Amino acid sequence: MYLSVVAPIYNEVDNLEILHNELTAVLPPLGDYEIIFVDDGSNDGSVEKLAELAAADAHVKVVFFRRNFGQSAAMYAGIQHASGDLVITLDGDLQNDPADIPMMCAKLEEGFDLVHGWRKNRQDTWINRRLPSMIANWLISRTTGFAIHDLGCTLKAMRREIAQELELYGEMHRFIPILAHQRGAKCVEVVTKHRPRIHGKTKYGISRTLRVVLDLLTVKFLLDYFASPMKLFGNFGLCCGGAAALSGVATIAMRIFAGVDMTGNPLLLLTVFFALAALQFVSLGLLGEVNARIYFSGNEQKTYTVRRLLNFSDAPKIRRAA
Ligand code: UDP
Ligand code: MG
């Protein structure tokens, strides 16, 4: 078995060596492996530290971003550059415990495609991290119909084919199990250890919750209507069209049978409003359909640019869109 471990790194200089040591203690018995660090534009010396680790250990491969593109982009880049049969993602801040990796790989061998961690005993502050996260997880579970306790846990193990099909941008790395599940992956949740952050600072605060909620809207849309947006907007359009027809008929009927002056009748305004809204929704639906066609006809846009690669023998494989 060949394992690819992917860790996004943004200003984690004091964690890198410890993480590398912990991984090197756990991985060899599992098979051959590569450790892919993705430097997300660090400016605290992580860049030099990563280069040092890569020079000393050929298992270590590093992708350096030109600037900070965010955790989703970092994970996406790491996953796209992975060549293992299994891809394991974990945080670079030592909060995930590499000792959980063998257990997760064993789960994959049982036949699952994706194993995601549940930080049951999460070591973060309660009020601005754990509580918003609990609410967000509950909300996401309810809206997507995917039962899950902890979407925010980066520690995951998955088959490479599944991992490389994921499109991660925005805060999409939090929705990996849902996105994979939608593509037919068999997912399972396992309880994983979680440790307090000792070195470095967290990159997120309360403001992230809001972004996650917005991304939730996107995910919900992607799950249900991505391939045919007309099903959503067309329905809105039809409803508005129906309402326009009703109030139009009512305006005329009131003119004929009750002698109500049409221009003085507010229903006329309502008719115009609904007719315009119907037009807008149908046009949106059509535009959406055109976009879906363009998307599915294949593009290779990426959400990041890479400054340089370390220890990669071939040019990276670039996935063609489905
Ligand atoms: N991270 C990153 N780019 C960013 C923010 C974070 O690569 O813009 C990395 C960070 O270095 C860490 C992981 O993502 O390895 C999780 O970040 P953090 O520990 O700050 O998040 P938390 O555990 O507090 O949710
Ligand atoms: Mg962390």
Q: What is the pTM of this model?
A: 0.83
Number of domains in the chain: 2
Please work out whether the CB of residue 128 comes within 6 Å of at least one atom of ligand 1: no
For residue 84, being part of any structural domain is answered with: yes
pLDDT for res 184:
84
Please work out whether the CB of residue 8 comes within 6 Å of at least one atom of ligand 1: yes
What is the position in ligand 1's atom list of the atom closest to the CA of 91? Answer: 15
Residue 39 has pLDDT above 80, yes or no: yes
Per residue in 156-186, pLDDT tens? 999 998 999 898 988 889 899 998 988 889 9
Alpha helices in 155-229 (DSSP H): 160-165, 176-182, 207-225
For residue 278, being part of any structural domain is answered with: yes
The residues pairing with 115 across neighbouring beta strands, listed in sequence order, are: 157, 188
For residue 222, being part of any structural domain is answered with: no
Task: Give me ligand 1 centre to Cα 47, in Å.
Answer: 16
- Lowest mean pLDDT segment, chosen from 173-177, 218-222, 233-237: 218-222
Provide the Cα torsion 132, 138, 139, 142; round to 10°: 180
Residue 322 has pLDDT above 50, yes or no: no
Same domain, 182 and 236: no
- What Rg value do the Cα atoms of the chain yield, rounded? 25
Task: Give me ligand 1 centre to Cα 202, in Å.
Answer: 7
pLDDT band at residue 143 under the 50/70/90 scheme: confident
For residue 220, being part of any structural domain is answered with: no
Task: Give me ligand 2 centre to Cα 29, in Å.
Answer: 27
What is the position in ligand 1's atom list of the atom closest to the CA of 10? Answer: 11
Q: Which residues surround ligand 2, an ion (CB under 5 A)?
A: 91, 93, 95
Please work out whether the CB of residue 70 comes within 6 Å of at least one atom of ligand 1: yes
Residue holding tokens 């799950």?
A: 223
- Lowest mean pLDDT segment, chosen from 108-112, 133-137, 243-247, 276-280: 133-137
pLDDT for res 283:
98
Q: What percent of the chain has pLDDT over 70?
A: 95
Same domain, 113 and 74: yes
Please work out whether the CB of residue 203 comes within 6 Å of at least one atom of ligand 1: yes
Average pLDDT of 109-119? 95
Same domain, 194 and 247: no
Domain range for 268 is 230-297
Same domain, 160 and 60: yes
Same domain, 196 and 242: no
Residue 301 has pLDDT above 70, yes or no: no
Same domain, 155 and 262: no
CATH number, residue 55: 3.90.550.10
Residue 320 has pLDDT above 50, yes or no: no
What is the position in ligand 1's atom list of the atom closest to the CA of 95? Answer: 23
What is the position in ligand 1's atom list of the atom closest to the CA of 12? Answer: 11
Residue 99: C-alpha distances to residues 21, 94, 168, 187, 193 (Å) = 12, 11, 26, 20, 9
Single out the residue of 126, 183, 125, 121 nearest to residue 153, CA to CA: 121
- Average pLDDT of the chain, as a whole number: 91
Higher pLDDT, 122 or 246: 246
Same domain, 190 and 235: no
For residue 82, being part of any structural domain is answered with: yes
CA atoms within 13 A on the CB side of 107: 23
